[in-house]
Structure 1
Amino acid sequence: MDKKWIYYAGLTLVAAIWGANFGVSRSAMDTFDPILFSFLRFGLAVPFFFLILKMKEGSIGIPLKVLLQLALIGLIGVTGLEIAVMYSIKYTTLANASLLNVAPWPIFSALFAPLFVKEKFTRRLGVGGAAAVVGVTFIILGGGEGLNLSSDHMIGNLLAFGVSIIGALFNLACMPLMRQYSSLRVSTWFIFFGSLFMAPLTWGSWSKVDWNGLGAGHYTAIIYNVLICTVFAFVVWNASMYKIGAARANFFRYVVPAAAVIAGLIFFDEGITSWQMVGAVCMAAGLVWISTERKLSPALSM
């Protein structure tokens, strides 16, 4: 069996974990300020990243010049991106935010890839990607909320669309560094810097939380976000993305809204429409078509 299937499986699993996190974290937002919860997620994950890096590679250091690059990547790709996602949801509908954030991201990754790495945009990638875009659109808009382009949601819409552009550039900016250093080392340091820059933004939020009143559900949400959604997910996603290529890997983000729909059904008894089921089939067909390409770019296959 071709080893590339391991990486495609890893991408699918991580995207499903991120989608399920919608259900896990939604109730926690009633207790935690969104920025504080994001800081807990990434800040508490930092020691685990450094511990794994030390155990696996024997050292944690990285040249100063590269540290400056990773500081910028962390500021934009973790601090800025997480805040933009939260405020896009605040200022527009969930359907708008999901569609404008998730759907264009892989497309921008494919378009911008030649600027950072030697990735070929193949016909199979284009066809499979188009099917996946149609599928994820049905999944997001098929929920009944619909796309709302009124001026009341313009700020949120622009933020959500901006997230897809910045997110794609963030992924691609990591790729050249992952050719010099491991994906684990790169991830560890940009998450460290992202958490560091996010810390001052939580000022004033800590006192608003009734820490003594936290229950098992709150701690479960924090542990899931730290260990599963961040430590495990970032290690697997970035390692798989490096092997497969950013353009292909990012199309697997379309599994996120599908998993979120399932999480909504499990956690909040939300229904699934026929349009969403049709969309899931289209999306799955597109991703399978992408992943069955026999030969990857020589610059990516290892």
Structure 2
Amino acid sequence: MRQERRWVYYVGLAVVAAIWGANFGVSRKGMETFDPVLFAFLRFSLALPFFFLLLKLKEGNVGMPAKTLLRLAVLGLVGITGLEIAVMYSIKYTTLANASLLNVAPWPIFAALFGPFFLRERITSRLVTGGIAAIIGVCFVILGGGEGFDVSSGNMLGNLLAFGVSIVGASFNLACMPLMRQYSALRVSTWYTAFGVVFMFPLTLPSWGKVSWTALGGSEYTAILFNVFVCTVFAFIVWNAGMFKIGAARANFFRYVVPASAVAAGYLFFDESVSGWQLVGTAFMAAGLVWISLERRAPTAVLQ
């Protein structure tokens, strides 16, 4: 891939990670009205028709061989039903600082560690050094904030869920690779999302009656639409295109933009302060990601 062409994908990954960072606050706001399970269900069930439409327009059909449906059902149960509900509850039951750090920081590390078991991605010295710099940077961004990292017992459930998301999420990404060698990222993800939505629906039944639907205002609808179209449909397409071209380990390090984006959103929209340590951390993180992005490598098919 030409060097100038690669930068398109790196920028795309950074933009998507920034969107996901801003969504920590949006999701917490949404869960003031919706139960976490219902909020996750609304996000993926409303996005699903658009995935099928895109699949039909891009590839001409939406079918999937029956022999692969069981594998896709397991992926949907783990990656959508289980993982996305855990993400919502981690945001609800711990601080945003804890959630953004524990959801994000370990994920690329586990992706790099588990990668050799699923695909042939070489761990290079540039990836290691750039990754270390990015890890240091993201820790400064979180720990340098006024909220800091709180290990009190009141946040322990959310902390454990957030850390588990990193382990399961990285494994889930990599477990999709065998199917990705046979079918497109769009086709595989559309179908495991469909199964995930089906499995999630029964869990939402106690929650529908708790919402005063006629009283919903602009902020609630904005939170839903942002999650559906920006964080799911748009982000899925851009992230998968970037990961397909540059590989799982490198792409996942761009997740370190997430907490920096969350801090920036807090500063711009919620009048939160930004400390000098956070600025230093942002510089470390940016330097690490730029260093990783300068390495030439062959493309590998991967999935968000």
Tell me how far apart the structure 2 counterparts of residues 221 and 298 of structure 1 sit (CA, whole Å): 35
Task: Report if aligned partners of 1:75, 1:197 keep a CA contact under 8 Å in 2.
Answer: yes
Per mean C-alpha deviation after superposition, the further-off stretch among 79-88 and 20-29 is 20-29
Q: Which residue of 1 aligns with 2:248?
A: 246
Q: Alpha-carbon deviation of 1:152?
A: 4.7
Q: Which residue of 1 aligns with 2:53?
A: 51
Q: Alpha-carbon deviation of 1:111?
A: 0.5
Which of 169, 173, 186 is equivalent to 1:167?
169
Q: Alpha-carbon deviation of 1:26?
A: 3.0
Q: Which residue of 1 aligns with 2:15?
A: 13
- SS of the equivalent of 1:109 reads helix
Q: Which residue of 2 aligns with 1:148?
A: 150
Structure 2: runs of 5 or more not aligned: none
Task: Report if aligned partners of 2:22, 2:261 keep a CA contact under 8 Å in 1.
Answer: yes
Tell me how far apart the structure 2 counterparts of residues 16 and 112 of structure 1 sit (CA, whole Å): 25
Q: Which residue of 1 aligns with 2:71?
A: 69
Which of 22, 25, 42 is equivalent to 1:23?
25
- SS of the equivalent of 1:270 reads coil
Q: Alpha-carbon deviation of 1:286?
A: 0.4
Tell me how far apart the structure 1 counterparts of residues 298 and 125 of structure 2 sit (CA, whole Å): 13
Q: Which residue of 2 aligns with 1:208?
A: 210
Structure 1: runs of 5 or more not aligned: none
Q: Alpha-carbon deviation of 1:151?
A: 4.6
Which of 87, 90, 96 is equivalent to 1:88?
90
Q: Which residue of 2 aligns with 1:123?
A: 125
What is the TM-score with the length of structure 1 in the denominator?
0.94
Alignment of 1:178-197 (within 5 A): 178-197=180-199
Per mean C-alpha deviation after superposition, the further-off stretch among 118-127 and 72-81 is 72-81
Q: Alpha-carbon deviation of 1:150?
A: 4.3
Task: Report if aligned partners of 2:181, 2:301 keep a CA contact under 8 Å in 1.
Answer: no
- SS of the equivalent of 1:45 reads helix
Task: Report if aligned partners of 1:252, 1:287 keep a CA contact under 8 Å in 2.
Answer: yes
Per mean C-alpha deviation after superposition, the further-off stretch among 244-253 and 151-160 is 151-160
Task: Report if aligned partners of 2:142, 2:149 keep a CA contact under 8 Å in 1.
Answer: no
Distance 1:92 1:24, change over 3 A: closer
Tell me how far apart the structure 2 counterparts of residues 277 and 15 of structure 1 sit (CA, whole Å): 18
Distance 1:28 1:160, change over 3 A: closer
Q: Alpha-carbon deviation of 1:224?
A: 1.3
Deviations, residues 65-120 of structure 1 (Å, cap 9, x unaligned): 22211211111111111122233334443333322221110000001001111100
What is the TM-score with the length of structure 2 in the denominator?
0.93
Q: Which residue of 2 aligns with 1:291?
A: 293
Which amino acid is the alignment partner of residue 211 of structure 1?
Answer: W
Question: What RMSD in Å do the two structures reach over aligned CA positions?
Answer: 1.8
Which amino acid is the alignment partner of residue 68 of structure 1?
Answer: L
Tell me how far apart the structure 2 counterparts of residues 228 and 235 of structure 1 sit (CA, whole Å): 10
* Identity over aligned pairs, percent: 69
Deviations, residues 181-236 of structure 1 (Å, cap 9, x unaligned): 11111111111111111111111211111111111222122111111110111121
Task: Report if aligned partners of 1:70, 1:186 keep a CA contact under 8 Å in 2.
Answer: yes
